[in-house]
Amino acid sequence: NLAELSAEFDELPDWEDRCDLLIDLGMELPDLSAEEKVEANRVHGCQSNVWLVMITSGTGEQQRIKIRAQSEAMIVNGLICVLLAIYDGKTPQEILEISPQAIFQRLDLDRHLSPQRKNGLSGMVQRIRGLAAELLSQQS
């Protein structure tokens, strides 16, 4: 979860160690199936290929969004793990109330990621938030 992830990042003194942690996290990410790695699930704007699958469960205010994703790049898989800690299993309302930029700053990711990695991360966040906003509007 996000609290545990923040605590792990806090224990690491420099970016190289944090980068190693991201890579380690990314290695634990479950693989997507070939059927999930299709153009419709690809996130555009990322430096490497990233596929993002979102599944909803429940209805109304109890509706939750389950997220699965994978990249061809190890560090991006680590960033996906951060996004999962932030968003996975949340309601659309909870997703829209979260400020990912504040979390990225807290983890010191905003300072050390290349512009292309930031674009990819932003693309994933926009895709997740877009689905959450769409689902929330359907509830009204």
Which are the catalytic amino acids?
46
**Distance from C-alpha of 87 to C-alpha of 67, rounded to nearest angstrom:** 8
Report the 10 Å Cβ neighbour count for 123.
17
Query: At residue 70, what are phi and psi to the nearest 5 degrees?
Result: -160, 150
Give just the sign of the alpha carbon dihedral 22, 27, 29, 31. positive
Please work out, in degrees rounded to the nearest 5, the angle formed at the alpha carbon of residue 106 by the alpha carbons of 1 and 8: 45
